[in-house]
């Protein structure tokens, strides 16, 4: 099934996913070291979703919005990792000037519309972006990421209905990591395939493998191109897994060790490495170089964030109103 991608693209994907992974591991460390506080939801395990989807769009032109597990997507879109890291540390150089934090990464430049903390609340906003595309007759799409459990929210259903009746170029992507916080989705939704929710809205649907980035990218490319062409929305379920808890403070007692181990065997980075070795896109020792390169980037991001100033108090009343 897996299509062949160029060696160059595979290397780029690997480095991008590795950057996401190592950044998040470092973020988890910083959190445990109490370098920052608040909530912290790590993306570890789901990197192939961001890389597969966001390389299938026109970065900086197509609109992207997501929930609170939002540290990696803006970096994949092109944001400097240090700017994301600075936001986590509450610094004024952060992508929301230290006012958003972990759950509210934003970048107007990369058309990254956030970073949202109310489960499912971002979904209607994506239809607004798609409405603007249609209103101005633009050749663009809107990508809306949400978690599996967000598809139980009413606003999700209202948004899908609107996108369907108005033919909005909106791609709703359920990142199905199987758990809404500590509750298995199988306990809160009677469907086994979440993409089937599209049937209620006479909407196209797709199930995408979110562990093998080659598959994710290939399928998403097709979906994005089709959506751009037809201006018809689609509900995509991408099957993935998060290796860490819902947030850093969650020990994950609601799932078995065996389940997590089984998932680790199909870690998106492991799978991609296998593909690359098979395809001779890289040699074993190349991966050490990738690690070194990424480690430098991560440390540079942390240094930038740590060296950055806190916002001044006069920042408090800025941006309440325009």
Binding window for another protein (CB under 8 A); candidates: 122-130, 173-181, 224-232, 269-277:
122-130
Contact 97, 72 (CB under 8 A): no
Minimum Å gap between C-beta 312 and another protein is: 13
Output helix, strand, coil percentages for the chain, rounded to the nearest 5. 50, 10, 40
Minimum Å gap between C-beta 320 and another protein is: 5
Number of residues that bind another protein (CB under 8 A): 45
User: Residues 156 to 215: which contact another protein by CB under 8 A?
Assistant: 158-159, 161-162, 165
C-alpha dist (Å) from residue 104 to 30, 73, 267? 18, 12, 27
Residue carrying the six token digits 């992974």: 21
Per the DSSP assignment, residues forming a β-bridge with 234 are 171, 204
Assess 106 for contact with another protein (CB under 8 A).
Answer: yes
Query: Which residue, 13 or 145, is less far from another protein as judged by CB?
Result: 145
Q: Which of 49, 53, 86, 95 binds another protein (CB under 8 A)?
A: 95
Q: Which of 21, 41, 69, 116 binds another protein (CB under 8 A)?
A: 116
Contact 175, 146 (CB under 8 A): yes
Q: Which of 8, 33, 108, 265 binds another protein (CB under 8 A)?
A: 108
SS3 81: helix
Assess 305 for contact with another protein (CB under 8 A).
Answer: no
Assess 63 for contact with another protein (CB under 8 A).
Answer: yes
Residue carrying the six token digits 């994005």: 224
Assess 150 for contact with another protein (CB under 8 A).
Answer: no
Minimum Å gap between C-beta 79 and another protein is: 12
β 63-66/142-147 pair status: parallel
Assess 107 for contact with another protein (CB under 8 A).
Answer: yes
Assess 155 for contact with another protein (CB under 8 A).
Answer: yes
β 170-176/183-184 pair status: unpaired
Assess 149 for contact with another protein (CB under 8 A).
Answer: no
State the angle between helix axes of 7-32 and 47-54 in degrees (0 to 180), rounded to the nearest 10. Answer: 130
Q: What is the distance between the alpha carbons of residues 9 and 246, in angstroms, rounded to a whole number?
A: 31
β 179-180/63-66 pair status: unpaired
Q: Which of 10, 19, 30, 126 binds another protein (CB under 8 A)?
A: 126
Assess 127 for contact with another protein (CB under 8 A).
Answer: yes
Of 33, 119, 104, nearest in space to 71 by CA = 104
Interface contacts to another protein, rule CB under 8 A: 63, 65, 94-100, 104, 106-108, 113-118, 121, 123-135, 154-155, 158-159, 161-162, 165, 318-322
């Amino acid at each position: 099934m897996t299509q062949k991608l160029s060696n160059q693209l595979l290397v780029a994907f690997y480095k991008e996913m590795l950057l996401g992974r190592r950044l998040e591991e470092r973020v988890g460390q910083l959190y445990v070291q109490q370098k920052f506080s608040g909530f912290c939801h790590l993306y570890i395990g789901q990197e192939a979703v961001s890389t597969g989807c966001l390389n299938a769009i026109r970065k900086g032109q197509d609109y992207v919005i997501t929930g609170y597990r939002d540290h990696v997507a803006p970096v994949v879109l092109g944001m400097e990792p240090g700017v994301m890291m600075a936001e986590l540390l509450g610094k004024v150089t952060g992508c929301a000037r230290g006012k958003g934090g972990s759950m509210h990464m934003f970048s107007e430049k990369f058309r990254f519309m956030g970073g949202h903390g109310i489960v499912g609340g971002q979904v209607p906003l994506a239809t607004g972006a798609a409405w603007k595309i249609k209103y101005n007759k633009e050749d663009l799409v809107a990508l809306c990421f949400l978690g599996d459990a967000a598809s139980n929210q009413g606003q999700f259903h209202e948004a899908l209905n609107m996108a369907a009746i108005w033919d909005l170029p909106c791609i709703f992507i359920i990142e199905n990591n199987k758990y809404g916080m500590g509750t298995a989705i199988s306990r809160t939704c009677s469907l086994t395939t979440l993409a089937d929710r599209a049937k209620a809205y006479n909407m196209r649907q797709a199930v995408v493998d979110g562990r093998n980035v080659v598959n994710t990218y290939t399928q998403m490319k097709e979906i994005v191109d089709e959506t751009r062409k037809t201006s018809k929305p689609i509900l995509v379920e991408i099957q993935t897994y998060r290796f860490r808890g819902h947030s850093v403070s969650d020990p994950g007692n609601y799932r078995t060790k065996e389940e997590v181990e089984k998932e680790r065997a199909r870690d998106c980075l492991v799978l991609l490495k296998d593909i690359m070795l098979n395809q001779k896109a890289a040699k074993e020792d190349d991966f050490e170089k990738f690690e070194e390169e990424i480690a430098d980037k991560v440390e540079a991001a942390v240094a930038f964030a740590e060296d950055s100033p806190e916002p001044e108090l006069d920042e408090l009343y800025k941006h309440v109103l325009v």
